[in-house]
Amino acid sequence: MTRYLRPAVSLILLMTAITGGLYPLAVTGIAQLAFPEQANGSLVRDNQGQVRGSALIAQGFEGPEWFHPRPSAGAFATVASAASNLAPSNPALAQRVMDDAARLFEPQLGPVPQALLTTSGSGLDPHLPPAAAAYQIPRVAAARKLSPQRLQALLEEATLHPLIGPPVVNVLALNQALQRL
């Protein structure tokens, strides 16, 4: 019996050491050397050096003077990151989307962009399509007493054009630029 048990236990211990210790340490070391900003959370800091968020995680903004991100099923808490798991046929999801659409609807702007009504898969996506951010310009301009043209220029400056995929706007970065005005 020992003849079979000893190699099995030895292999378990060896693989645990490799996959549970050596490999994570190697990946962490390589990440710190090659991509230190991303490996440390892509933190966004204000002018005083205070951490205000992460470029990779959305956060909620309250009030008409801010651009708002997509809704979050987990209230932007990273511990609860996930979609709501409500099926498209679920009446609760349909009611929430209809309530949000009624609350956000601006007759002069037309239908509310879908990105402002639906959560992302993680519930933490920090990006909006430029059209969804632009839909909010009249509200933010009125609340801040700024011209819509100034906010449109700010939005265009904050628009990212990734190598693959459509243009996006990081809402935290846009609101930080707005705060600096």
The boundaries of the domain holding residue 32 are 2-36
Do 144 and 65 share a structural domain? yes
Between 21 and 84, residue with greater pLDDT: 21
Element (H, E) at 108: none
Lookup result for tokens 């990212």:
160
Q: What is the model's pLDDT at position 104?
A: 87
Report the share of the chain in percent with pLDDT over 70: 93
Do 169 and 105 share a structural domain? yes
Contact 72, 117 (CB under 8 A): no
Number of domains in the chain: 2
Between 127 and 74, residue with greater pLDDT: 127
Q: Which residues contact 148 (CB under 8 A, 6 or more apart)?
A: 137, 138, 141
The predicted-structure confidence for 151-174, as pLDDT tens digits, reads as follows 999 999 999 999 999 999 998 889
Do 128 and 96 share a structural domain? yes
Kindly state the tokens that stand for 55.
């470029």
Q: Residue 134 in 3-state DSSP? A: helix
Q: How much is the mean pLDDT over the chain?
A: 86
Q: What is the mean pLDDT of residues 29-55?
A: 83
- The answer to whether residue 123 scores a pLDDT higher than 90 is no
CA-only gyration radius of the chain, Å: 22
Do 155 and 77 share a structural domain? yes
Do 92 and 11 share a structural domain? no
Do 111 and 97 share a structural domain? yes
Q: What is the model's pLDDT at position 81?
A: 64
